[in-house]
């Protein structure tokens, strides 16, 4: 049957939707239900595809190089681990690619004239293959005739690559995109023109794409196509600009055509034609006028990256769950752990090590893993773990590090310490190909996309989601029942919508933050799963408002901190309706008796808290272990709106950087 599928992939005239239907029927009749459901989930998510890279291209009368570099700078928030461009100079296509940011690419081509007026460019956030010049786009075939920039994922690139290798093609990169360049070249050699070579290639692709293609053999043409990943064509005077995001177009024109799925644009200096990918039928599209504020385009409609990233959280969770969560069978499919799955079945202790916000995620992971997977967990701060000579048992222990950047020096030191002591090291990492991702034995990527605001928000919720998936994964290897696995998986699947309900309260939280912006000191308190949210909420407030904020377990109040409470020292209580709710209520009474103001984060429908607190923010009901994923969101918004009220540099707070790569 595997052969049957491969043949289908390579046989002509199979377009995406039909392909899925056929594969689905085969799976339904031949495989256990787990495969059917994960396929359904991944199919559903294709229509919500997440772009983590940026495309820009141009053709016309003006020099391509400055247009491409300017476009890439505007798209850099989409991805910034590598960048590249290709420009036709009248004789040949010049290709320049580098690991790093657009500034590094600009430096690389600073001395090069690149006199041409046709070109394509890309800024990448790695999904297949580490960030490197080799893996950066444009990707090309071995004759350096075809050049492709691509957003999305070619899911069937492995069988396509195998087939092309059998036909004599040699591949240079680890990317899925390189397959497209070779496929297009293959069809050009069979006599197709560039438009039809691209169409034939894309008809064999399963996955998502926005692509822009140029070829040395047909240099005055650009081919643009999309399936589930956006692509727009801007019509300026004497100039056509193609980009994945209007931000790269709007400094040239507001007149834009948006390609739909299955449409292919053939663009040359004289204009463009849009046709259907399957039958060449010409499609007449309306030109729309885009009315965005050009100065705000990099952040879309948001004033700051932090706010944008807070609002992206429903989508972030979907991306972290993509193909991994199976609510029907109560399983988590974690491909990155497959190679060590048998060893994980036998481990007896987990040491989680991380810094800052990632450490707070680790603390919540401890509660999840101990309660549901029955594995003892210790959580350490990277900067302490490296110097405390932790007792690690190579037979029974595993070190699990958590890091957004994958470059934090203290966290990396824990990975090296584990290696030194012969202990298995795992990572939960957002940046593909980062040092921690490379040095750990196995792990799980967050797939949260680039996080630009220094204050971590969307990656924190993704870290919690991945820890919950890991809890299911390890729990189901042990005593966790099918019923419990299903319950957690179903509750996880509901989270994106529940976060949206909290985001809808942003305006009310803004008013609250304004009212509290005159206070200089804050307390954040919570218990059990929400104790780490108390310290995370306090960290968010500290780092972007510079206000004094302390976070801790509610139960510690009477052991000292209560002495500080008076009417000038508000307390934020995170008190959802969980197993420790009554205990939190008693602590609230204690604060009230000292005339302390209370802001409470409570579960929808709770009337009691309202009578104790001056202000209440409600979150939807979920499983106790997942409440932190919801309760952190109002605290992120509270910190953001207060910092905005205070007029501070929210995305780049003073004294701290996004990634602490030195001790
Ligand atoms: O990249 P990492 O996740 O390893 O970074 C760890 C901390 O530096 C980071 O979470 C920091 O605390 C953030 N600024 C918090 O918002």
pLDDT bracket for residue 30 (50, 70, 90):
very low
Kindly report, residue by residue over 146-162, the tens digit of the pLDDT. 999 998 889 899 999 99
Which atom, in ligand 1's list, is nearest to the CA of 356?
12
pLDDT of residue 405: 86
Ligand 1 contact via 498 beta carbon (within 6 Å) = no
- Taking the CA atoms of residue 528, residue 529, residue 531 and residue 534 in that order, the dihedral angle to the nearest 10 degrees is -150
- Does the pLDDT at position 395 exceed 60? yes
The tens digit of pLDDT for each residue in 46-77 reads 222 334 688 999 999 999 999 999 999 888 76
pLDDT, position 76: 75
Residue ranges of domains in the chain: 47-290, 298-496, 505-657
Give the confidence band of 662 by pLDDT, cuts at 50, 70, 90.
low
Is any ligand 1 atom within 6 A of the Cβ of residue 405? yes
Residue-wise pLDDT tens digits, 94-136: 999 999 889 999 999 999 988 899 999 999 877 778 889 999 9
Q: What is the pLDDT, as a whole number, of residue 661? A: 56
CATH code assigned to 505-657: 3.40.50.10490
Among residues 577, 583, 625, 568, the alpha carbon closest in space to that of 601 is found at: 577
Fold of 298-496: Rossmann fold (3.40.50)
CA of 33 to the centre of ligand 1 (A): 39
Query: What band does 294 get if pLDDT is binned at 50, 70 and 90?
Result: low
Evaluate whether the domain defined by 47-290 bears CATH number 3.60.20.10: yes
User: How far apart (Å, rounded) are the C-alpha atoms in residues 94 and 268?
Assistant: 19
Residue of 240 and 37 predicted with greater confidence:
240
pLDDT band at 432 (very low <50, low <70, confident <90, very high): confident
Report the nearest-CA residue for atom 10 of ligand 1: 357
pLDDT tens sequence across 572-614: 999 999 999 999 999 999 999 999 999 999 999 999 999 999 9
| Structure confidence by residue, pLDDT tens digits, 467-500 | 999 999 999 999 999 999 999 999 999 999 999 9
Cis (ω within 30 of 0) for the bond into 138?
yes
Contacts of 647-652 with CB under 8 Å at 24 or more apart are: 648/544, 648/545, 648/546, 650/304, 650/306, 650/307, 650/453, 650/455, 650/544, 651/304, 651/305, 651/306, 651/452, 651/453, 651/454, 652/454
Q: How far is CA 175 from CA 400, 449, 473, 539, 633, in A?
A: 27, 17, 28, 38, 35
Check: CB of residue 551 under 8 Å from CB of residue 537. Answer: yes
Percentage of the chain beyond pLDDT 70 is 89
Q: Whose CA is nearest to atom 12 of ligand 1?
A: 356
Considering only CA atoms, which of 466, 376, 361, 368 is closest in space to residue 411?
361
- Ligand 1 pocket check for 660: Cβ under 6 Å: yes
Domains 298-496 and 505-657 share a fold: yes
Output the pLDDT for position 25.
Answer: 31
- 607: three-class secondary structure by DSSP: coil
List active site positions: 53, 658
302 C-alpha to center of ligand 1: Å? 22
pTM across the whole model: 0.68
More confident residue, 566 or 14: 566
How much is the average pLDDT of 340-347?
A: 97
- Cα 435 to Cα 419: distance, rounded to the nearest angstrom: 14
pLDDT tens per residue, range 240-274: 999 988 778 888 998 999 898 899 999 999 899 99
């Amino acid at each position: 049957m595997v052969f049957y599928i491969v043949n289908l992939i390579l046989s002509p005239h199979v377009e995406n939707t039909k392909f899925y239907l056929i594969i689905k029927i085969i799976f339904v009749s031949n495989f256990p239900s787990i495969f059917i459901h994960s396929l359904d989930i991944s199919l559903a998510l294709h229509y919500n595809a997440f772009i983590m890279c940026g495309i820009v291209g141009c053709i016309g009368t003006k020099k391509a190089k400055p247009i491409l570099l300017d476009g890439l700078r505007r798209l850099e928030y989409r991805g910034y681990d590598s960048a590249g461009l290709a420009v036709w100079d009248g004789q040949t296509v010049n290709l320049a690619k580098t690991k790093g940011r657009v500034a590094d690419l600009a430096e690389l081509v600073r001395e090069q004239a690149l006199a041409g007026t046709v070109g394509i460019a890309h800024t990448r956030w790695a999904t297949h293959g580490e960030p490197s010049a080799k893996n950066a786009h444009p990707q090309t075939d071995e004759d350096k005739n075809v050049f492709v920039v691509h957003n999305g994922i070619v899911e069937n690139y492995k069988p396509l690559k195998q087939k092309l290798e059998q036909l004599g093609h040699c591949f240079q990169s680890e990317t899925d995109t390189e397959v497209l360049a070779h496929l297009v070249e293959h069809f050009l050699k069979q006599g197709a023109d560039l438009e039809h070579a691209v169409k034939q290639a894309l008809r064999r692709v399963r996955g998502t794409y926005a692509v822009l293609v140029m070829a040395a053999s047909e240099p005055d043409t650009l081919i643009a196509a999309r399936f589930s990943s956006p692509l727009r064509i801007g019509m300026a005077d004497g100039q056509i600009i193609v980009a994945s995001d209007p931000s790269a177009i709007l400094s040239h024109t507001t007149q834009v055509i948006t390609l739909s799925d299955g449409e292919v644009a053939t663009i040359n200096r004289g204009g463009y034609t849009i046709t259907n990918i399957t039958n060449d039928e010409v499609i007449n599209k309306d030109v729309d006028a885009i009315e965005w504020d050009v100065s705000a385009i990099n952040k879309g409609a948001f004033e700051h990256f932090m706010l944008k990233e807070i609002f992206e959280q429903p989508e972030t969770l979907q991306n972290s769950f993509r193909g991994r969560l199976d609510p029907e069978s109560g399983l988590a499919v974690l491909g990155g752990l497959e190679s060590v799955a048998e060893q994980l079945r036998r481990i007896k202790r987990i040491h989680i090590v991380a810094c800052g916000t990632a450490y707070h995620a680790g603390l919540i992971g401890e509660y999840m893993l101990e309660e549901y997977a029955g594995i003892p967990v210790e959580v350490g701060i990277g900067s302490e773990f490296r110097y405390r000579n932790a007792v690690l048992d190579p037979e029974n222990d595993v070190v699990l590090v958590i890091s957004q950047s994958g470059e934090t020096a203290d966290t990396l030191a824990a990975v090296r310490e584990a290696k030194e002591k012969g202990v298995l090291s795992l990572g939960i990492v957002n940046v593909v190909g980062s040092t921690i991702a490379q040095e750990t034995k196995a792990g799980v990527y967050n797939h949260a996309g680039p996080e630009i605001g220094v204050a971590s928000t969307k990656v924190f919720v993704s870290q919690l989601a991945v820890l919950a998936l890991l809890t299911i994964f390890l729990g189901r290897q042990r005593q966790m029942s099918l019923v419990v696995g299903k319950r957690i998986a179903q509750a996880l699947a509901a989270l994106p919508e529940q976060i949206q309900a909290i985001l809808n309260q942003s305006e009310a939280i803004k008013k609250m933050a304004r009212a509290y912006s005159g206070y200089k000191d804050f307390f954040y308190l919570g218990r059990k799963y929400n104790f780490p949210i108390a310290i995370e909420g306090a960290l968010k407030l500290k780092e972007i408002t510079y206000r004094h904020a302390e976070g801790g377990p509610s139960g510690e109040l009477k052991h000292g901190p209560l002495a500080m409470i008076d009417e000038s020292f508000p307390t934020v209580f995170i008190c959802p309706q969980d197993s420790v709710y009554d205990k939190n209520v008693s602590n609230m009474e204690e604060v009230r008796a000292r005339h302390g103001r209370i802001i409470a984060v409570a579960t929808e429908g709770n009337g009691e808290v309202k009578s104790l607190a001056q202000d209440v923010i409600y979150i939807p009901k979920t499983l106790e272990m997942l409440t932190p994923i919801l309760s952190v969101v109002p605290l992120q918004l509270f910190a953001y709106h207060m910092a905005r009220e205070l007029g501070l540099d929210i995305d780049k707070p003073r004294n701290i950087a996004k990634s602490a790569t030195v001790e």
